[in-house]
Amino acid sequence: MRFVKQYGVGKAVVRLRDIKDRIQAMLIGEISELILKSGAQSVPDANKLLNDLEGAMLTRVNDKFAAMGLRIKAFEANPFQAKQDVSLDELRNYVSLDVWERVQRLVIAQKAAENEGLGGSLAGAGVGLGVGQQIGAALNPDMAELQRQLMQQQLMMQQMMTNMAQQNQPQQAEGSEAATAAPKTKAEVQAMLDSLDMKLANGEISEAVYNRLVEKWQQRLSEME
C-alpha cells in the first residue's frame, strides 16, 4: 500500500524508470556519504571497506526503502575497478598519496633521463620500467612481489651495461674535462661543480669520473676560502 501511495496516487502513468532513478540516486548518495565518513583516500582504500560497507548500507537504506513500501534482504557491493589507461592525474584517485608521489617522482626522473647517448638511454629504459611497475603494483597489489623481482633484475642488467659503457668512456670524459679552461675564481669553481651534476644526470660522465672531479674541485674551492 505504501508503494502504491508513493508512486500510484495522482499519476496517470507510472514507469519503472522513475522508480529506478529514485532508488539509484538514493543508493549512490548513501554510498558516497559512507565512503566520505570512512576517510578512504583511494580506490584500494574503498575496496577494503566493502564488507563493512555492505552491512552498513543494508541497515541505512532499509529505513528509507520501508517508507516506500519496500524491503532489501541483501546488499552486494562489487569492487571498484580502475580504468585500463590511467593518466598521472587520474592515478591519484586509485592509489595512496605516498604511491602517487613516488610515481610522480619517477615520471620527472624519466623526463630528465630522456637525452641522447648511452647513459641517458639506459636511465630512460630503467626509469620507464620503474614507472610502469609502480603503477601496476598500485593497481594490482597481488603482482607487487613479482614486479619487485623483475625490477631488481632490470636494475642489475642496467648496472652491468652501464659499467661496460663506463670502461670504454672514462678516458674520453676526463680528456674532455681537462680540455676545458680551468676555473680560477670561486664562482667559476662553483659553476664547474654545478655543471658536473648536470653531466652526471644526463649520463655524459660516469659516477666514478664524477666523484673524482667533484672531490678535486671541492678541495680547490676550500683552498680559495
Q: Could you read off the pLDDT of 132-184 as tens digits, one per residue?
A: 555 555 545 554 555 565 566 556 656 666 665 665 555 555 555 544 557 77
pLDDT at residue number 125 = 46
The band of 9, judged by pLDDT with boundaries at 50, 70 and 90, is low
The band of 208, judged by pLDDT with boundaries at 50, 70 and 90, is confident
pLDDT at residue number 100 = 58
Task: Looking at the structure, tell me whether residues 139 and 205 fall in a common domain.
Answer: no
- Nearest-10 Cα torsion for 33, 37, 40, 44: -50
In a domain, 82, yes or no: no
Q: Across residues 79-89, what is the average pLDDT?
A: 60
pTM comes to: 0.33
- Please determine, for residue 45, whether its predicted confidence score (pLDDT) is greater than 60: yes
Q: Which three three-digit cell numbers place residue 46?
A: 574503498
pLDDT at residue number 124 = 46
Neighbours of 139 (CB within 10 A): 19
pLDDT at residue number 203 = 74
Highest mean pLDDT pick, 39-43, 44-48, 113-117, 202-206: 202-206
- Please determine, for residue 127, whether its predicted confidence score (pLDDT) is greater than 50: no
- Long-range contacts formed by 178-183: CB under 8 A, 24+ apart: 183/217, 183/220
pLDDT at residue number 40 = 72
Q: Which three three-digit cell numbers place residue 60?
A: 541505512
Question: Percent of the chain beyond pLDDT 90?
Answer: 0
In a domain, 117, yes or no: yes
Task: Looking at the structure, tell me whether residues 102 and 149 fall in a common domain.
Answer: yes
Question: Percent of the chain beyond pLDDT 70?
Answer: 42
pLDDT at residue number 26 = 78
pLDDT at residue number 141 = 52
pLDDT at residue number 14 = 67
Task: Looking at the structure, tell me whether residues 213 and 200 fall in a common domain.
Answer: yes
In a domain, 73, yes or no: no
CA dist 93 and 190 (Å) reads: 43
Task: Looking at the structure, tell me whether residues 181 and 119 fall in a common domain.
Answer: no
Neighbours of 186 (CB within 10 A): 12
Neighbours of 53 (CB within 10 A): 20
Task: Looking at the structure, tell me whether residues 164 and 182 fall in a common domain.
Answer: no
Task: Looking at the structure, tell me whether residues 153 and 206 fall in a common domain.
Answer: no
- Helix ranges (H only) for the chain are 2-7, 16-38, 43-48, 50-67, 88-91, 97-113, 118-139, 144-168, 170-179, 186-201, 207-224
Number of domains observed in the structure of the chain: 3
Q: How far is CA 128 from the centre of its chain?
A: 12
Task: Looking at the structure, tell me whether residues 115 and 141 fall in a common domain.
Answer: yes
Task: Looking at the structure, tell me whether residues 11 and 40 fall in a common domain.
Answer: yes
Task: Looking at the structure, tell me whether residues 174 and 209 fall in a common domain.
Answer: yes
Task: Looking at the structure, tell me whether residues 162 and 148 fall in a common domain.
Answer: yes
In a domain, 60, yes or no: yes
Q: 212 lies in which domain range?
A: 170-224
In a domain, 132, yes or no: yes
Whose CA is closest to 93, among 138, 43, 48?
43
For the chain, the distance separating the N- and C-terminal CA atoms, rounded to the nearest angstrom, is 93
The band of 86, judged by pLDDT with boundaries at 50, 70 and 90, is low
CA dist 144 and 99 (Å) reads: 13
- Dihedral angle sign, alpha carbons of residues 212, 213, 218, 220: positive
CB 62 within 8 A of CB 118: no
146-to-135, 140, 157, 222 alpha-carbon distances in Å: 14, 11, 17, 48
Task: Looking at the structure, tell me whether residues 153 and 104 fall in a common domain.
Answer: yes
